[in-house]
Structure 1
Amino acid sequence: MALVIYGMGPSPFVRKVRVAFVEKGMDYTLENVNIFPAPDWFKEISPLKRIPVLRDTDRPEPNTIPDSSAICAYAEQVQPTPSLYPADGFERGRAAWIEEYADTEMAGVIGLGVFRPVALAALMGKDIDAATAEKTMAERMPAIFNFLEAELGDDDFLVANSFSIADISVATQFVNLQHAGFKPDAAQWPKLAAYVARMHDRPSFKALIDEEAALFAKTRAA
């Protein structure tokens, strides 16, 4: 199986797929695609003009799948072990819900309210809007932190106390928050802060975080 992921490293959705592939021991090639604006050939395989898109070159065309959730579901099918989806039907549904929460609510608040005004702006050579990021952290992030702190309870993972797609989806959004210089306050959200640290220490995450941090450091030094 020859797999190509089209996208950009700092994207939380590209990172989500890359982490899932590493956790499953699946080899892939990352082909960088700048979607600002998206090239015409990419629009043909990604109708929503979003990253990532997966191409399985061992399959006849059309051999692409857009959307991180769809790609991860495909990965689970072709490489069932280790599983990233709970075996129990109810818990599997809960994992899908947490994945959706991360992909929509977290991505919207963190991406538009914190990451883009700070980290992405710096990466693109634009002025940083720290005020917007600070306002988002004060007004919108506490609800997200409260929800996740409650979901964790006394467990190490979000669903069925086992590492799953739910953890990958949530943790990848926190990477972008970290790139912008923010994280949950350990005094106010101790379980969540410890959880994020554990997730980001996993080899699958750590290698990508280090890779991206070097990119942002180079931008700041320029």
Structure 2
Amino acid sequence: MALIIYGMGPSPFVRKVRVVMAEKGVDYTLENVNIFPAPDWFMEISPLKRIPVLRDTDKPEPNTIPDSSAICLYLEQTHPEPQLYPQDGFERGRAAWLEEYADTEMAGNIGLGVFRPIALSALMGKEQDTETANKTMTEKMPRIFDYLSDVLGDRDYMVGSAFSIADIAVATQFVNLQHAGFKVDAAKWPALADYVARIHARPSFTALIDEEAALFAKTRAA
């Protein structure tokens, strides 16, 4: 099976897929695609004009799957070990909900409200919008931190007792918050801050965080 991922490294959705592949030991090739604007050939395989898209060259065309959640589900089916989706039906449903929450609520606020105004603007050589980022952190992020803290409780993981797609989906959004220079206030949300640090310390996350941090460091140096 020859797998290609089309996307950009700093995307939380591309990172989500790459973490799943790292956890499962799946080989792949990453082909960078700039979607600002997306090329015509890419829009043909990604109707929503979003990254990532997976291509399985061992499959007959059409051999692509757009959307990170769909890709991760495919990888779970083709590479079932280690299992990243809970076996229990209710816990699997909870994991799917938290993945959706991360992909929409977290991504919308962190991506549009913090990451794009700060990190992406710097990467594209534009002026940073610190006012928007600070306002998002003050007015919108606390309720997200509160909710995730309540979900986590005193457990090590978001769902059940094992690392799952829920943790990957949630933690990948926090990487983008970190790239923008923000983090969870450990004084207000100690358990959540510890959780994020532990998940980001996994080798599957650490390698990508370091790779992306080097990219942003070049931007700052320039």
Letter of the 1:177 counterpart: L
What CA deviation, in whole Å up to 9, does each residue of 1:169-212 have, x standing for no partner? 00000000000000010000000000000011000000000000
**Counterpart in the other structure of 1:170:** 170
Partners of 1:131 and 1:161 lie apart in 2 by 39
Q: Write the mapping of 1:23-34 to structure 2, written as runs, cut at 5 A.
A: 23-34=23-34
Inter-partner Cα distance in structure 2 for 1:154 and 1:161: 11
User: For residue 105 of structure 2, what is the aligned residue in structure 1?
Assistant: 105
Partner of residue 59, structure 2: 59
Runs of 4+ aligned structure 1 residues displaced above 2 Å come to none
Mapped partners of 2:221, 2:187: distance in 1: 32
Alignment correspondent of 1:133: 133
Question: Any residues of structure 2 matched to 1:112-131 within 5 Å, and which?
Answer: 112-131=112-131
The alignment yields a C-alpha RMSD, in angstroms, of: 0.4
The alpha-carbon deviation at position 161 of structure 1 amounts to 2.0
Whole-angstrom distance in 1 between the partners of 2:161 and 2:153: 10
Aligned counterparts, 1:181-200, within 5 A: 181-200=181-200
Q: Which amino acid aligns with 1:79?
A: H
Matching residue of 1:41: 41
- The question of 1:155 aligning with 2:173 is answered no
In the TM superposition, residue 138 of structure 1 has moved relative to its aligned partner by 0.2
C-alpha separation between the residues in 1 aligned to 2:88 and 2:115? 35
| Residue type at the aligned position of 1:172 | T
TM-score, normalised by the number of residues in structure 1: 1.00
Q: Deviations over 1:3-45 (max 9, x none)?
A: 0000000000000000000001111100000000000000000
> What is the distance in 2 between the residues matched to 1:214 and 1:26?
24
Deviation sequence 1:72-101 (CA, Å, 0-9, x none)? 000000001101000000000000000000
* Whole-Å separation in 1 of the counterparts to 2:107 and 2:141: 11
Q: In the TM superposition, what whole-angstrom CA distance separates every residue of 1:90-126 from its partner, at most 9, and x where no partner exists?
A: 0000000000000000000000000000000000000
Deviations, residues 137-188 of structure 1 (Å, cap 9, x unaligned): 0000000000011111110000012100000000000000000000010000
- The count of residues paired between Structure 1 and Structure 2 equals 222
